[in-house]
Chains A and B, each alone.
Chain A
């Protein structure tokens, strides 16, 4: 068993195969790239990947180099889910007609960043989820448009300074709350929705596996620190992921056929406090994007309050 109670993966049992290989051009300490390694390990090579424009597309495919050991297609920024629909339905027909893909049906994975998913690609995602496309959609959320230079997205957290929500003399950075992607997925009544973070690799891989096995659409919202965009040390991504989960900022949970289940309760990881939600300041101030919040206690308090509220809402759903 591992930290979340799934016995499927253990360190020494991890597949040695690396369908997403080294040599790609991600920055040092890039957690989205690590996530790709974990995901492809979990699924294996019977896989077709449909990538949206964004960091993970750019860093893995500068022709003639290719980091993917599995078939991969990139079409545009906002349409990975729609492309995956075509891929999946095409395969289904060709199998039925006995033309191609007559063995095991390959898994179809669509991949988008927070921008490519929550902003410009939300419509295509909603369409594919609603139509029941049998695929896994993974949103790797590095909380901004990193590929184009750290602009804000609807996944950027309150208070973060980005190049289009800069902190300034009269601004505290991002002024909106992060979009709740998982609940948008849940609202589509799809069979599987989960949040994950590469800081918890076994949990993530188990969820990926479940998402693939489920018939119909599955949505994974993955919290993926980006040292370059978050202005933190290159070796701090894993730690930040843990802090975000432990402080309740990014709760890990799954929703199977509409049933919410918390994967990791922050309270069980904290030794002292009665409060299930930890202090978030420790998380925020390891990152340059929140540096300007020092001394802005009211805003930090509001963020803390919001985290508590969201956690309670989530908790309530699991108790239904």
Chain B
């Protein structure tokens, strides 16, 4: 099992390429994918790895994302470790089958290279695509840099295939600003990675020696129970996710948590971010701290299962929480992250004012200064004791 890439010390590599290298290290059996910018480099590189004979896998060049996810369901149902990647229109086209993958408890791993949704057509980054899929029953993890993408992809297989979970997992990364950027990334020995993810042992599969049905009709007498079972499995996956992250830290050194914090000690105000723009926001936090503003940052890594209790514990004591969403819930109650954060806090006896900001849509940059402005504005709203339902950042009106 030779390494295709240098291991042990950081090498400069495009994040998409890094993710496909690590998928190959995880010894996937089937990749079924359809190209869409900015996901293309991931599947192209996987096709190359297979073409070079460095990964013994079936690369199924399907004719659509709908068929990509359908083929993934088929291959996972026969017990093959299965990977795909998509985003935006492609993810939307998969929508129908995403529920079925989780409903059939198939541990497919998918990379979602977050991109805006049409119209107008836009190939650049935001999180509208994944937010439309939040209720599909998949474990959903966000990353903020290339190293996290590599690490979380490894963890994803082990989480998905754990007998206590048996659910599909999405690893999110920002389109272009992460996927197409060359970053220093530390890889691990292939043998060690394979040891960590293990060999997939499906508890059930389509097997003539032991026939069974996948996907029968769920009559009203059974549908609710089936859904409840899915819900319990996703909620309880949290325990396994923590275990896998802890094991990963022991094995490879990097530690992960559902909510990452930055300079939150003694913070009265918290800026909550998701994904790659968190790094820009952190720079703003540094600058604000220099000015004496008592602000810290909370980065949401685990989107499903949603870490309600952790959020309540972490944010409950703050005076103001400023949530930055890269998705517009059109004419809704705020960005999806902001409204879920509000939900987590609402039943607390004392709770902070939550202010929702929406920006970074369709690849629009959000600067350090803009993050600082959000904090200042948020503090103003706290002082006034009221805030608009949500506010769009950097928009020409």
Contacts and interface: CB of A to CB of B under 8 A. Distances in A.
Contacts of A45: 208, 211
A94 B76 CA distance: 11
Interface stretch (B60-68, B230-238, B249-257, B272-280): B60-68
Which of B63, B66, B70 has the most CB atoms of chain A within a 10 A radius of its CB?
A: B70
B211 A69 contact: yes
B206 A127 contact: no
Interface in A114-160: 123-124, 126-127, 130-131
A73 B79 contact: no
Given A73-B206, A82-B74, A130-B63, A90 B80 contact: yes
Contact of B213 (A46, A72, A91): A72
Contacts of A50: 74
B217 A63 contact: yes
Interface stretch (A28-36, A98-106, A208-216, A302-310): A98-106
Interface string B84-115: 00000000000011001000100000000000
B337 interface: no
Interface string B211-249: 111111111001000000000000000000000000000
B72 A86 contact: yes
Which of A48, A70, A83, A130 has the most CB atoms of chain B within a 10 A radius of its CB?
A: A83
A76 B77 CA distance: 14
A89 B32 CA distance: 10
A82 B67 contact: yes
B67 A123 contact: yes
Contact of A62 (B32, B61, B67, B217): B217
Interface in A40-90: 45-48, 50, 57-58, 61-64, 66, 68-76, 78-79, 81-90
B62 A90 contact: no
Interface residues of A, number: 49
Given A48-B206, A79-B66, A85 B216 contact: no
Given A73-B206, A87-B78, A123-B64, A93 B71 contact: no
A58 B78 contact: no
Contacts of A124: 63-64, 66-67, 70
B283 interface: no
Contacts of A271: none
Nearest to B73: A75
A96 interface: yes
The 4 closest A-B pairs by CB, nearest first: A86-B74, A127-B63, A90-B75, A86-B71
Given A47-B208, A73-B77, A127-B64, 19 more contacts: A58-B217, A72-B212, A73-B74, A73-B206, A75-B104, A82-B67, A83-B71, A83-B74, A85-B62, A86-B72, A86-B77, A89-B30, A90-B76, A90-B82, A100-B207, A101-B78, A124-B66, A124-B70, A127-B62
